[in-house]
Structure 1
């Protein structure tokens, strides 16, 4: 029987509509999305009438309604259907995530249907970053893409992210891909004035790949990192072969967990033993790691080479292996959230990529530590060995 059950209904597209005139500020971007800080100009503090499609005798006009969208409760889900859709008047604690024109990525509507029916029910409240689907005016995407072009010309946009723009731009001169929706996210931005800072990392594979050889010495994450390093140096590119081992993070051994946390904190924060201790204790006591580990094991018992790459269970396992930890550290507490649940479809060559990687990790000896070549980790005392 499937271990993943869809508990939500089909997403009603009558969700809140963002106004055209939101002020946009570029925050960051990943391979598939761009994150923006948004604000409503003073002259647009009255919500646009398009947010509510119909009026009734009991429904006041939009100018009389003042409802803030709270996406920090119940895993960030809210009811936003039809005439009852909330009107968003406060964007101070929200970020906007816009999707890029990537053939391998799902539309935001399908992503939210999957997120709300499959992913959200897997976690208790407060574990995930709050998020909600909103309708996206094309004019806003046009301005956002114009900003990306400007950032490229100014040399601000990362070079490896250039030449790929946002979906939903109707102009024929832009990359064409329909997208009518976006995500509002709970803002985890730290208040640096009071000493807060944000850590971001991917826990990746918290249990060994079922496809790994019986005599494996390395976890899937470390084996793949070393192989990528090997390919990079052959091309004359910079790469790191040292990194976070997920097995250390979930080992329940404080010493090993601290080693993982030092990788996450990085220098110079990693030199602060009290800080290392605080973050280690918080992560070891947080529910996210244990839940992710259990789900990864139960949803993909066969492994990449034997699994049905079209099954909901396998694709969910791959999604959970690529989600992001957001850890906000303040002088008094450590707050962890999971986010960035990009739906894995296995399409556009992704499934073949997973299979090819697995075959190479096995066939070239990266799992067993028998890979060919003279590498830094071959030096005495530096060999990469992962322990359960």
Structure 2
């Protein structure tokens, strides 16, 4: 569903409103998608061309949930923690836009008419949030393809046993499978260590499982490797000791940054100009999750998930992880 909104660059900041003002440009805001923390709306022109600031952009609006940062905090967190780690053309960009009163109510009414995931039907926009974010649109051009992939842990956990036959991502996947659970990451059916393997056949195996689009797979195997390498090296630098040995405020802060980089999304799309790849979902993980992360790590170790020595009733021969294939 869509609503008509009016965009203006008069005043201190660009803004969207439901009321037409002088020099405002009419456009449609259309529900596109949502995650656990944000809604995504496409911006569609009406009679006139969109202004340059809106071209190639989507509108991201935070949800009214207690654990979600305000939009201003999200922008500051991104700029302070992640923006400078990667080349500008390798990350989804964020620009603040002001939201006038009444816009959230109109969008919430439109959201009510959308078929949404059942566990998110109680999620809405807050009425008192003054800002939204214009983010890079990574949807493909007409006739082209796109891919969302979770790189996850591109290095083994520093706390894993020396004789591990599963990396951290594959160990957690196996544990979830024993409980009948399967996340979108699990469905990728590949080992993150293959993404950055020095052997092209490993990378090819992983990317062919991630996408059937041969051009995207070829790009990920070759041209995307510098970006994967930066992501891997930052994970190593920010978390050198592992969650079970992290210490001090600085260590915990950097661990949270590393865990964010282990849960970000790589958006890859083909266009008439070529293939573009950007990292997104770089929302800072908060220290209150430290206890949960430690509990997960201890269980993966103590229950034998790293070593493929889990309880007999749940045991499955590991066939995906590169560590198992190379052992």
Measured against the shorter chain, the TM-score band is 0.7 to 0.9
Q: How does 1:114-125 map to 2 (within 5 A)?
A: 114-125=77-88
Aligned residues: 303
Structure 1 residue corresponding to 2:189, chosen from 243, 251, 258: 243
* Partner of residue 256, structure 1: 202
Structure-1 separation of matches of 2:51 and 2:271 = 29
Distance 1:131 1:371, change over 3 A: same
Give the Å deviation of 1:38.
Answer: 2.0
Which residues of structure 2 form unaligned runs of 5+?
1-11, 20-26
* Partner of residue 360, structure 1: 299
Structure 2 residue corresponding to 1:225, chosen from 161, 173, 191: 173
Which residues of structure 1 form unaligned runs of 5+?
1-13, 47-65, 70-90, 170-177
Q: Is residue 164 of structure 1 aligned with residue 110 of structure 2?
A: no
* Partner of residue 287, structure 2: 346
Structure 1 residue corresponding to 2:233, chosen from 269, 291, 294: 294
Give the TM-score of the pair, scaled to structure 2.
0.83
* Partner of residue 262, structure 2: 321
Q: Is residue 108 of structure 1 aligned with residue 63 of structure 2?
A: no
Structure-2 separation of matches of 1:147 and 1:309 = 46
Native 8 Å contact 2:190 2:321 kept in 1: no
Larger Rg: 1
When you count strand as a share of all residues, which structure comes out higher?
A: 2
Distance 1:292 1:38, change over 3 A: same
CA RMSD of aligned residues (A): 2.8
Give the Å deviation of 1:201.
Answer: 0.9
Q: How does 1:1-388 map to 2 (within 5 A)?
A: 15-20=13-18, 23-39=28-44, 42=47, 68-69=52-53, 91-151=54-114, 156-166=115-125, 168-169=126-127, 178-192=128-142, 195-232=143-180, 243-265=189-211, 269=212, 276-284=217-225, 287-308=226-247, 310-311=249-250, 312-330=253-271, 333-347=274-288, 350-374=289-313, 377-378=316-317, 383-387=319-323
What stretches of structure 1 move > 6 A for 4+ residues in a row? none
Native 8 Å contact 1:106 1:343 kept in 2: no
Structure-2 separation of matches of 1:127 and 1:302 = 27
Give the TM-score of the pair, scaled to structure 1.
0.71
